[in-house]
Structures are given as structure tokens and as C-alpha cells.
Amino acid sequence: MDKNTLKSSFGKWVSPINTKKLFEQVEENKQDYYTKKLTTAAYIKLMLLAQLQGFESLEEMSDALIDDGLQKALGFESISTSQLSRKNNEMNPMILSHLFLDEVKVLQNKTFHFLNQQ
């Protein structure tokens, strides 16, 4: 899959995330209490894109925001490497752990239903 196809379908990649549960955890942990631009949801989306695209640095992640479609998907136009670094340090790992475990449950359920249909 080329990079342009990936960016145009990025919304489909992140759609399985249970945003309601994510927002509840963010609120509970006051993760975005003083945040103006780089919310936890936007940060997670950007990290997923970095993984999918194979970015090797915060600079590459920051530079990727040249794409208008990506800017719309994330909800901001630019972000500095220092802001990304601060968010990395501030991020509560329990939020990411819960997000991962929720997605594993979804995958297990889909696999279970698929195997039972055969």
C-alpha cells in the first residue's frame, strides 16, 4: 500500500478505537487538563501513523503534517518536535495499555465469530 493510499484511508485505520472509552480515561486521569493543541486522541492517531509509515524520529512525525488530509484527521496544522517530546513524557501508560487491551478484545471477538461461522 503506497503512502498516499494510506493517508487517504487513515480514518479507516483508527475507526476501531473506542473513542468514548478513551475520552473517559483521559478525563479520569486529567491527561488533557492543560492541553491546547496536542490532545491525547490526536497524539495516539499521530503515533499510529508513525508506526504505519515507519517514521524513525519526532522530526519525521512533525514533517508529516504538511498533508492537509492528515491535518484534518488530527485536528491541528503543525506540531513541534519539542511538543511531541513533552507529550511522550506526559503520557499515562495506563491509557495506552487499556486502549491496546480493548483492541485485543475486539480482535478476539471477531476471530471467535469468524471461526464459529466456518
The percentage of residues in the chain with a pLDDT greater than 70, rounded to a whole number, is 88
Which residues, in sequence order, are CB contacts of 12 under 8 Å at separation 6+? none
- For the chain, the structural domain boundaries read 3-117
- Residue 67's H or E segment, with its range, is none
pTM of the model: 0.74
What is the grid cell recorded at 16? 476501531
Q: pLDDT category, 9, cuts 50, 70, 90?
A: low
- Phi, psi of 15, deg, nearest 5: -65, -30
Can you tell me whether residue 42 is helix, strand or coil? helix
Asked whether 47 and 100 are in contact (CB, 8 A), the reply is: no
State residue 21's pLDDT score: 85
Give pLDDT tens digits for 40-81.
888 888 888 888 889 999 999 988 888 887 788 777 788 889
State residue 6's pLDDT score: 44
| Vertex 95 angle, CA 90 and 98, to 5° | 160
